[in-house]
Structures are given as structure tokens and as C-alpha cells.
Chain A
Amino acid sequence: MKRVQFEHSPIPYLFIAPQIIIIVVFFLWPAAQAIYQSFLLEDAFGLSSQFVWFKNYSDTVFSTSWLQAAGFTVVFSTLVTLLSLAIALLLAVKANEVIHGARTYKTTLMWAYAIAPPVAGLMGNLMFHPLIGDLYKLMNAIGWDFNHKLDAFDASFVVILISVWKQVSVNFIFFLSGLQGIPHSVVEAATMDCKNATRRFWTITFPLLAPTTFFLMVINITYAFFETFGIIDTTTRGAPGGATNTLVYKVFQDGFRGADLGGSSAQSVVLMLIVLALTVVQFRFIERKVHY
């Protein structure tokens, strides 16, 4: 808050009102509804409902299909986060080193940020198309009996590859701006003290990037949880047999395609708790600033 402020008046309420009204109507009320519905069991026609305590939770959240989705989400988020961070870091370090063509590299590595996840998904879908997709043919040509429509591992491979591809550019932008924020004096001093560039990177540069890396990890986990919805919905749709269902995609499928309101709401509430946990972790660490 500012030291100098305007005095008491109704004006601030007018200014803040639009956002608050929208939040109450479109965020808080629906969220409360989700929590309320998670305790209800509706009949098949949605005419009557009955309060069932935690039955929806025990029925859906501990079902095999939910646990399968939870397992996939963990593996998927970990791989997408690690791979896209690693690729982006490598590219950012290299782009920060070059003098000739620096701007061109930067532009051509970051522009994919503007592509929507479902559009990336559709492109990937066509690349892996059994009839025309070169990647599909390539996989089979190198002796991998590849079929992402039938094989769970292959389907996960496709979804992870597209999700990583889509996320590299964001990470690249942040890593590059983090690298450029390291003072020249530090870089020069390090170069004098240590001739080995690889060692210099791991002992000086990487620790200095820790705040960026940590922040990006949170961003990437959130991305893998939520924004990959568009990629999954345009490629595997959770198939085969739910093997590529993330928790978010399953909420959508059970709620909209399966019309299981109570079960879907219970899953939503569990997701809220996960987001809450992620946010708490994020803020606790940001307060401590992940220092070097």
C-alpha cells in the first residue's frame, strides 16, 4: 500500500466493484456449487437428489480409473516439466552465448508461444496420422511397432511430446531473460576464476538461475495439469482405455460426457485442494526466495 492515499470515500468501491462482481458470480458461486454438489447424489433424470456425505468421494476418487488418471498425471507432469525445462535451459544458455544471429535465434525459438495447445495438438495429430503422418511412419520404420491409438505407452509418448514442444518457448523466454539479468561483473569474475565452461555453468550460472527455475517449475506443473487439456482433447481424448486421462480431463469427461455430476464435482474439489497445495508451496518458497 502507498503511504500517500486518497481519503475515505465510496470511490474505491466503485472502482473495484466490476472485478469483485464478476468473481463472485463466475468464480465463487460456481466453486461453492461444486463443493455442494460433491455431497449430493442425483437420480438418473436429475429430478431429485439426496445428501450422501462422502459417498461421491469414496466412489470416484478412490476408483481404479481415478487412481490411474492420478498416476498418469504425476508421471506426465514430471516428464513434461523436466523435459521442457531441460531443453529450454540448454537453448537459452546457447542463445545467450552467441553474438551472430542472436536475435534470429531468439525470435525463432520463442514464437511457438503464440500457438494454442489444441492447435499444437491437432498439428501433432496429423504428424502422427497413420495414413499420412511422417512421424508415425518414421517410428515404425525404425522398428518401433508404433500405434498410439491402441498402445498406452505410444499414446502417452505422443501427448508428452506435443506438450513438451508447446512449453519449450515459454521456458526459453524466462531462462533467457534470467541469464541476461546476471551482472557482467559476475560473469567476468567467474571466467577468470574457472576456465572450464561446464563447471562454471553448474557452480555459478545455474545456482544464480535458481529463482527462475523454481518459478518455472510451478508454472510448468500448472501447465501440465490444466492447459494440456486442449492437447489431450485434440489427440488421444484419454484413450486407449483411459491411459492418457489426466485428472482435469477426467473431470470434464465424467461431468460432460458421462453426466455424473456428483462424481465430477467430488473430483473438482480434490483438484481445488491440489491447486491450493501448489499455491501454498509456491508462496512459501517465493518468500524464502530460493537463494544461492
Chain B
Amino acid sequence: MNTINWRLIYTHTVLIIGVIFMSLPVWVAFATSTHDAETILRNGLQFWPGTHFFETYREVLFVEGGVMKSVLGTTMLKNSLILGIGFAVGKVIISMLAAYAIVYFRFRLAAPLFWIIFMTLLLPLEVRIIPSYEVMAGLNLLDTHTGLIVPLIASATGTFFFRQFFMSVPDELLEAARLDGATPWRFFVDILIPLSKTMIAAILIIMFVVGWNQYLWPLIMTTKEENYTLVIGIKQIYQVLAEGGELPQYQKAFALTILATLPPVLVVLVFQNWFVKGLVESEK
């Protein structure tokens, strides 16, 4: 006997509404970005792609824009990549080293140093924003990649993540390595790092997304347009595009939001399993 399974229909309906709620804004942003300025101004947002895809994206990427007309989309893309990759790699290196010291060595200052690392959780950027800016200005690090990346990589999350993982590595490995006369550095490079490969991949993916999406710190750290990342650049450029001039260039504003979204979204989609693992594990 075949009855309609109402429960199943209900389940799928809820999920489909959820998918539409989460995806429609981005789809509309993309579809609208492929129309020309007149169409958007006359007819509002668009739900189907138009014919101006190449024109708009070429202009956004390769024609200089911004308040001073001095920044290319490709430049912002490059800056964002440097921030995302630099942040992820820097964070993995720094936190693996610190976690290795904490887990595998007996040393006098271990406890106080661990608490100093823990304290970063209590001091998010937002509560020390102006003095942080002053420190960067004092060190002449404004508008530099170093100044952008280094202060961000020291927070405790990565260190806790690797500490947790190292604790789960069997003690016998170190015993065996020591019997073979391995130095601490050898043990780290030849045994611990290869063992941590999946963990490293997972945390790299999360941290790339987190780094790419940084907003407040780049916003106060960069004053020159050529140092804008996409995430902060689009806001400044949005104001020029959508609020100034005779004919607001909404399609370019939308194209920039799509460009700022695409790389982290692709990373998350392509490495979905590592990403979920990294996220769920690192927040524990």
C-alpha cells in the first residue's frame, strides 16, 4: 500500500527553504553583477544572469578603481591571498612550536607561559584596538604585510588545538625515539609533523578562511589603497560605486562582493571534510 509520506515531504520542504534562505542572497548578488547599470537601476535586483559578465568582471579586476582611482581588483585579490595564506601558515608554525614545547618538555616557566597564551582569549582585538594601532604606528608597521599578519597569529586557538592533538600521541613514540638517540628537533620534524599531517591540513583550511575574512585589523592597519584586501576594499569602493556619480555602478559592487566570497567558499567546498574536521576539533 502506497501512502504519501507526509513526514518526508515536510522534512525536504524545511531543508529546501533553508537552502534557499542561505543561498538566494548570494545567487541574486551574482546574477545582478552580470547586468548593466541601467538595467539594475530601472528594474532592481536580478534573479537570472545577464550578458555583461565578462565586461563587469574585467573592469572590476583590471581597471583601476577606488576613491583615489589607484587600486585594481587583482591587487586586492593578491593582498587577500597574502593575508589568508600568511595568516594560516604563520599560525600553524607558531602554534605547533609552542604546543610542542608545552607538551613535550619539562621547564620551569611552563605554567606561567601557558597562562600568558591563554590570556589572549581574554583580549580580543576589539578591547585593545587603539593601543594596538599605536604600537603598530610606533614600530612603523602600518601598511605592511608583516604588521597585518604577525599580530593576528598569536592567539591561543591554534596552540590549544595542537596541544590537544599532541597529548593524544602515544608516549611510546617519544620513548622509542629517545632510545634511538633522536634530538628534540629530529623527533619534531621526523615523527610529530608527519603524524600531524591531517590536523595541519584541517587547521590550514579554517585559518585561511579566517585570515581572508579579517576586517577590523586590516581596516585600521591600512591607509593606502594599494594595500586594501578585498574584504575591506569593497566597502570603501562600494561607497564610490553605489553612492557617488550620476549612474551608480551597482553591478560592480556586486561583482566585488562575489570576488571577495569566491576563494574562501571554494576552499571550504573543495576541502569540505577537512574543513568540518578542523572546525569541530579546533573549537573544542
Contacts and interface: CB of A to CB of B under 8 A. Distances in A.
A74 to B, nearest CB: 17
B58 interface: no
Interface stretch (A50-58, A91-99, A151-159, A183-191): A91-99
B95 interface: yes
Nearest to A16: B101
B234 A2 contact: no
B250 A132 contact: yes
A20 interface: yes
A280 to B, nearest CB: 10
A110 B12 CA distance: 17
B41 A131 contact: yes
Given A23-B116, A23-B154, A98-B12, A15 B98 contact: yes
Nearest to A216: B283
B122 to A, nearest CB: 5
Contacts of A75: none
A165 B268 contact: no
A236 interface: no
A25 B219 CA distance: 20
Main secondary structure of the interface of A (DSSP, over half): helix
A146 to B, nearest CB: 15
Q: What is the interface residue range for chain A against chain B?
A: 35 or more
Contact of B23 (A22, A34, A108, A132): A108
Interface in A39-71: none
Interface in A134-169: 134, 137, 165, 168-169
Given A30-B135, A177-B276, A126 B29 contact: yes
A19 B94 contact: yes
B213 A116 contact: yes
Interface in B91-113: 94-95, 97-98, 100-107, 109-110, 113
Given A109-B22, A252-B216, 14 more contacts: A1-B103, A1-B110, A8-B107, A9-B107, A12-B102, A19-B154, A25-B135, A26-B132, A27-B154, A111-B269, A114-B209, A126-B253, A132-B40, A233-B219
Interface of A: 1-9, 11-13, 15-16, 18-20, 22-31, 33-34, 37, 87, 90-91, 94-95, 97-98, 101, 105, 107-119, 122-127, 129, 131-134, 137, 165, 168-170, 173-174, 177, 197, 215, 219, 226, 229-230, 233-234, 248, 251-252, 255-256, 261, 264-265, 268-269, 271-272, 275-276, 279
13 contacts: A2-B171, A4-B171, A12-B102, A15-B101, A28-B119, A87-B18, A98-B11, A109-B18, A111-B268, A116-B215, A119-B213, A256-B129, A275-B127
